[in-house]
Amino acid sequence: MAISLQDVRRLAGVALLLACALPGAGAAEAPLFDRLPVAVKGTKVLRMVGDSFAPYRIVAEDGKTVTGLETDLVRALEPILGVKIEQSIVSNLPAMLAGIDTGRYDLSSGPLLSTKAREERYDIVTWLLSKPAWVLPASGRKTTRLEELCGLRISFAAGSTQEEYLRKVTERCTAAGLPATVPVALTDQNATVLAVQSGRADAASMQFAAALHLLRQSPNKFHIQTDPTDALGVLQLGFVTKKGSELTPVLHEALKRLWTSGDYAKILAKWGLSAAAAPEPRLNPSSR
């Protein structure tokens, strides 16, 4: 039986309420420092990598200062882990994953889509739910269903999961006797939005959570189209670590504590993403 994003959000709310109702919920616990890898304990620093991707990582004009949902997560995780977490910004997803592959960075908050193929290469600890969404100018075409994207030029970040969802949309278009979407591959999400604003693309493909943030930051400028049936699937998005890393189970436990304390729910609410809250953090859920 298919589970909609709305159903999962209800479960998330119940899980959070139950966690807060447990005896001692939210009470201070000892940091997880002793369970971290030896190298991390030696430096007392975790190196986190990501690209410029609002609302998760918002890079200031100085090119160094990073704010956003990830920064709030970092500040909440530091006392739980007993280390400082340094944020580094790279150009795109391939650069992020290459940094983890080579050991230059310890982890990324992603949010990276959990798939079986990816979990064969990395450990993924999920912390967010989403689904594909498409952003169109509010002054242009007003779509009400997915098939109205057929024939449109749709920008997306190259190498992201949006490419797969565009393929699924095109399959629905051709099955209905409608023209295929025209993919416009670009470097990152910022470029996809700029393409829509400049008229190079008719719509930008992105995660639902990112689309919500864009709408919040630029009210009345954009229109969001999703699949009301959720037939394309609800996405589980997560942190990324090297496969088999000693850090992975410690990170998983640290995230569980964020759920129990209520800090996770507060952080998502601050960024207007409560609708994307996950019921619990899960380790490699697509491989189970």
**For residue range 218-244, what is the model confidence (pLDDT) as tens digits?**
888 999 999 888 788 778 899 999 999
Angle made by CA atoms 155, 161, 164, in degrees to the nearest 5: 80
> 129 with 169: CB under 8 angstroms?
no
> 245 with 238: CB under 8 angstroms?
no
Does one domain contain both 9 and 124? yes
Is residue 231 a part of any domain in this protein? no
Least confident of 107-121, 141-155, 210-224: 210-224
- The better pLDDT of the pair 135, 11 is held by 135
- C-alpha 192/C-alpha 84 separation (Å) is 33
Our count of domains for the chain comes to 2
- C-alpha 145/C-alpha 223 separation (Å) is 12
- CATH number for position 26: 3.40.190.10
Domain boundary among 205, 225, 245: 225
Per-residue pLDDT reduced to its tens digit, 13-26: 544 443 443 333 33
**Pairing outcome for strands 132-137 and 222-225:** antiparallel
* Residues 151-169, mean pLDDT to the nearest whole number: 88
Is the overall model pTM greater than 0.95, yes or no? no
Does one domain contain both 119 and 139? no
Domain residues for the domain of 63 are 5-129+236-287
* Residues 88-112, mean pLDDT to the nearest whole number: 93
Neighbour order of strands in the sheet with 84-90: 84-90, 45-51, 107-113, 235-242, 122-130, 277-283
Does one domain contain both 125 and 154? no
Does one domain contain both 90 and 203? no
Domain boundary among 182, 202, 225: 225
Lookup: tokens for 200: 């190079």
